[in-house]
């Protein structure tokens, strides 16, 4: 067993290659072999969002605070809020971020594949895609 003290874990700004706007990523846990688990607390400022991406083993998002959006490629954006959980199947191309004019904080939980890959990044979400009417 390990107790991971808050001051011993990293916090970093999300890189511009993978995010639009200001995003902060706070590490919760990265499992040690044989575990391939990774969990982060991700804070999105208004207008901030991920680029399109996919996960080879899937991803769970759990919204802690604020209001957000998640979109599966080929579908309309969906609104998500506190207490909502989203399961993204392996290989589904998607993005997620804060609702326009709002902040959002969610937990992002995923596993790496046999090569150690837990995310495959793609192109940025355009403003037109981001601002499309949400369901």
Is the Cβ–Cβ distance between 24 and 14 less than 8 Å? yes
**DSSP code per residue over 29-52:** EEPPTT--EEEEEEEE-TT-EEPS
Q: Does some domain include residue 75? A: yes
Question: pLDDT per residue over 20-65, tens digit each?
Answer: 999 999 999 999 889 999 999 999 999 999 999 999 999 999 999 9
The answer to whether the bond into 87 is cis (omega within 30° of 0) is no
Is the Cβ–Cβ distance between 51 and 124 less than 8 Å? yes
Question: pLDDT per residue over 81-115, tens digit each?
Answer: 999 999 999 999 999 999 999 999 999 999 999 99
Q: Does some domain include residue 36? A: yes
Structure confidence at residue 8 as a pLDDT band (50, 70, 90) = confident
Q: Does some domain include residue 41? A: yes
Containing structural domain, residue 118: 6-130
Q: Does some domain include residue 59? A: yes
State phi, psi for 105 to the nearest 5 degrees.
-125, 130
Place of tokens 């399109």: 52
What total number of domains does the chain contain?
1
Place of tokens 């971020």: 97
Q: Does some domain include residue 1? A: no
User: Strand 37-44 vs strand 104-111: parallel, antiparallel, or unpaired?
Assistant: antiparallel
Q: Does some domain include residue 97? A: yes
CATH of the domain at 53: 2.60.120.10
Q: Does some domain include residue 73? A: yes
pTM of the model: 0.94
Q: Does some domain include residue 135? A: no
């Amino acid at each position: 067993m390990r107790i991971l003290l808050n001051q011993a874990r990293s916090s970093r700004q999300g890189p511009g290659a993978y995010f639009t706007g200001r995003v902060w990523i706070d590490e919760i846990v990265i499992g040690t072999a044989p575990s391939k688990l990774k969990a982060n607390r991700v804070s999105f400022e208004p207008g901030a969002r991920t680029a399109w991406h996919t996960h080879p083993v899937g991803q769970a998002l759990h919204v802690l605070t604020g209001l957000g959006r998640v979109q599966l490629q080929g579908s309309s954006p969906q609104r998500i809020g506190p207490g909502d959980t989203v399961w993204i199947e392996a290989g589904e191309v998607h993005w997620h971020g804060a609702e326009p004019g709002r902040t959002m904080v969610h937990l992002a939980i995923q596993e790496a594949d046999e090569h150690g890959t837990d995310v495959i990044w793609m192109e940025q979400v355009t403003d037109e895609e981001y601002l499309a009417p949400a369901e």
